[in-house]
Structure 1
Amino acid sequence: MARKKVNLQWITKASGRRATVKRRRNGIKKKVDELATLYSTKVGVVLYDENQDKPLAWPNDSEAKAMFQKFIDMPDCGKRFKKTQNQEELLSNLSRP
């Protein structure tokens, strides 16, 4: 059964917005878990929420930090990925006309 197209727009009611974020966050965590199971690999996700001070890391903080640190420590990262940018570079490029 096909689902109808969802129009992306700001959800005005705070309670509805929180419920939607919670539902989508759980859906993303489920998909990441399925990817990790299907491909027998480590997968890490960091989700930011406007109402929380600390981001949610999956599967847990220490494993996610270890995975991302391993990625950062990869040799030739700058040479291999020519279009890789950090957040400061991205924001400065977006602000240029």
Structure 2
Amino acid sequence: MARKKIKLVWINEDARRRATLKKRRKGLMKKVKELAILCDVRSCAIIYCPHDPKPEVCPAIEETTRVLNDFRSLSEMEKSKKMMNHAAFLQQRIAKRHEHIRQYDLEKRQLESTALLLECIAGSSILLLSTEELGSLTVQLNHKAKAVQERINELQNLIPAPPQASVDEDHNVGLHNYYEEMQCSAATT
């Protein structure tokens, strides 16, 4: 059975708040260990509680100290390379959403212009179209013409060229055909 969604608000009752902290802290420490095992990353967690004199450390104090010392030994650029604050994270998400919207808008316009092209091919009059629709239709036709030309070029590159006869051979064949025609016409007259 699924858990009900809880509201993330300050728990007023001290006993309930401590019990929740104990449960959540235990779950968080378990997640840190699982992350280290499943993803093969060096991770640690240090949790300070207002009612406990010393912090709880996961995995162990020695390993946590090593992880923190390794992190401190990195240059400032390496430390902050993949870090981001909440505002930067939200800006990145917004930019990605804007890009998705732009892509969907582009696809929508392409589908509309394709539908318009198909309507015109089916016999719909282009006299009833607006300037914007005519521009869209022109872009669509240019795109299709370019695709057809590229395909023709591909096919021409696949077909081997017939062997070229020399100019003298063509001239001689032409003369031979001319003399034969002359002889046929002389024989009939």
Question: Measured at CA, do residues 4 and 78 of structure 1 come closer, stay the same or move farther in structure 2, by a change above 3 Å?
Answer: same
Whether 2:60 is the aligned partner of 1:64: answer no
Give how far 1:12 is off.
Answer: 1.8
Q: Which has the higher contact order (CA 8 A, sep 6+)?
A: 1
Which residue does 2:6 correspond to in 1? 6
CA distance in 2, matches of 1:46, 1:4: 29
Which residue does 1:44 correspond to in 2? 44
Q: Normalised by the size of structure 2, how large is the TM-score?
A: 0.39
SS at match of 1:46: strand
- The Cα RMSD (Å) is 2.2
- The structure having more radius of gyration, on CA atoms, is 2
Q: Is the 8 A contact 2:71 2:79 kept in 1?
A: no
Q: Is the 8 A contact 2:44 2:64 kept in 1?
A: yes
Question: Measured at CA, do residues 8 and 80 of structure 1 come closer, stay the same or move farther in structure 2, by a change above 3 Å?
Answer: closer
- The amino acid of 1:13's aligned partner reads E
SS at match of 1:69: helix
Unaligned runs of 5+ in 2: 84-189
Question: Measured at CA, do residues 66 and 3 of structure 1 come closer, stay the same or move farther in structure 2, by a change above 3 Å?
Answer: same
Give how far 1:65 is off.
Answer: 1.2
SS at match of 2:57: strand
Give how far 1:80 is off.
Answer: 5.8
CA distance in 2, matches of 1:58, 1:36: 11
Structure 1, residues 34-83: CA drift from partner, whole Å, max 9, x if none?
111111232111111111122111111121111101100113x247627x
- The amino acid of 2:80's aligned partner reads F
Whether 2:61 is the aligned partner of 1:81: answer no
More helix by share: 2
SS at match of 2:54: coil
Report runs of 4+ in structure 1 exceeding 3 Å deviation.
none
Q: Normalised by the size of structure 1, how large is the TM-score?
A: 0.72
Alignment identity in percent? 37
CA distance in 2, matches of 1:80, 1:54: 27
Which residue does 2:29 correspond to in 1? 29
Unaligned runs of 5+ in 1: 85-97
CA distance in 2, matches of 1:71, 1:9: 33
